[in-house]
A = this chain, B = another copy of it.
């Protein structure tokens, strides 16, 4: 097999069977987002590098990961690395929007990452965000929408890990660490779960945090569990700090509102959870599926009240997050959650039996057209093949029914309907066939 050309490294082709599964995921997510009143937005695949690299927008941290190029006019551009930055640009330049602006966007993003298990250079994200609301109701709703997507996709067991950047700031303050060190401290803490405490302590030390400060911080960030208990303990330790107090109050509000959304039971508060991005300003969350093939968080987000302003807009509170489509897809594949998705929408193959006969060919095409008019996807032979080969093709593609038309059928006005699952075949009148193959 010669394969002269391949998809670029880190990218994939999705064949029709893959697409059937992925579209099931996309359509499910889309329908859930719409049930919560999120509306679709589409932005260009590339943006000016000036936008993508704006300090604080996330770009500067991943400069090496962005596909940057110059257009023919010499302007520096980059493929979008997320869907949040382009949307923040849209919000910044459209002050006439109706508030809240609740948008979702499902689309590809690009990062020049080293391809490895579950890491792609081209991958899909599904975002839902609320712009214009500073209320914790927006957080509770985003979390509820992401949880509903996961439930609808068949994830029965997942945990929403909640924290707040304000609480994290409070903890560093209380530990005697200066605010200037916060970004480095948060980046160190982000490694706790994956790389362990020793690595975190080493990085904290490099960031100029003393051992005593680190001890104090580590005690607090280990608070993790049911909201009520964590909030009580944290209030004792941090209640004297204004930022932490405000952050804990916000977390309490989210937990309270989540009861009405039916998501409260899934929430834990994890004061060590940080999330990588610098732009968060308030509550942050990650959703982790508890599954055999679990691969970390499958959704996450948070509040970023200063991003719109960064791109020239009015101060605009904002909160929201992403579903990690690739991880969701891989878990669902691995756990057989997609095995019932039909590989093709084609419901019927209409085939001629016997000799090549223009009248047969005509009857075949016209029967297929009749099916299509009724909304039933149908195919016919485009290869000049015999019945046997057409049956093989229908079987290979997973087409449910084959209608066979031969001389006998032409004479009687009846059709032969073969059910490819059972192999059973019956002679029927046209209205009977239509009813049998109908999707209802």
Contact = CB atoms under 8 A, between A and B. Distances in A.
A218 B344 CA distance: 47
A261 B42 contact: no
Interface string A360-402: 0110011001001001111111111000000001001100000
Nearest to A15: B41
A20 interface: yes
B46 A362 contact: no
Interface size class of chain A, counting residues whose CB lies under 8 Å from the partner chain: 35 or more
A103 B16 contact: yes
A138 B397 contact: no
A232 interface: no
Contacts of A130: 382
B98 A393 contact: yes
A72 B13 contact: no
Report copies per complex.
Answer: 2
A45 B48 contact: no
A44 B378 contact: no
Interface in A182-218: none
Contacts of A382: 100, 102, 130, 133, 135, 137-138, 141
23 contacts: A3-B93, A4-B92, A4-B311, A4-B312, A6-B93, A7-B43, A7-B89, A8-B71, A8-B77, A13-B90, A14-B41, A15-B94, A35-B375, A36-B378, A36-B379, A46-B67, A98-B397, A99-B383, A133-B383, A135-B382, A141-B382, A257-B365, A261-B365
